[in-house]
Amino acid sequence: MKDEMSSEQTTEPTPRRRSPFTAICAIDYTVIFVRDMAAMRRFYEDVLAFPLLRELSPNWIEYGIGCNTLALARPSRTAADAPTPTGSASLQLAFKVSATEVDACADELVRQGVALLSPPTNQAFGHRTLFFRDPDGNLLEVYAEI
């Protein structure tokens, strides 16, 4: 009987250790590694009109977006990664606005000569979305909850 019990015993799950990363409460800043700094800077400052927060060097530029920072950087600034190949997006950024502002943003992008990948569209999952690309090919979205 004793042998039968030992083969049927279940092991207790090991307690999950508390990770120090649970202390993270927000994304503080996002860095876009750029191929063409001049074109990207013109796009984010002139087309999207993001306010320049600070320029630490010609290779690192920061914009204030709400309580977050969006930085443009050459990869060698922090890492020796090769630039993303032309024709592939490195990331997608989604910028939240009100529902009426999605259409106003689309109008401004067209006025500035930016091609829309998708015009303002009401999605079944409750967002009104607009998609376009920055000069380096990254996918950008302006959306609102509807």
Tens-digit pLDDT string for the chain (146 aa): 555 555 556 677 777 788 878 888 878 899 998 889 999 999 999 999 999 999 999 999 999 999 999 999 987 755 666 667 777 767 899 999 998 899 999 999 999 999 999 999 999 999 999 999 999 889 999 999 99
Q: List the one residue out of 97, 54, 57 whose CA is nearest residue 73.
A: 57
Contacts of 67 (CB under 8 A, 6+ apart): 26
* pTM, two decimal places: 0.77
**Topology of the domain comprising 27-76:** 2,3-Dihydroxybiphenyl 1,2-Dioxygenase; domain 1 (3.10.180)
Report CA-CA distances (Å) from 52 to 41, 49, 64, 67. Answer: 10, 9, 6, 14
Delimit the domains of the chain by residue range: 27-76, 89-145
Q: What local confidence, expressed as pLDDT, does residue 28 receive? A: 85
Q: What is the distance between the alpha carbons of residues 102 and 96, in angstroms, rounded to a whole number?
A: 9
89-145: CATH, from 3.50.50.60, 3.20.20.80, 3.10.180.10, 3.40.640.10: 3.10.180.10
CA–CA distance, 96 with 140 (Å, rounded to integer): 11
Q: Looking at residue 93, what is its pLDDT?
A: 94
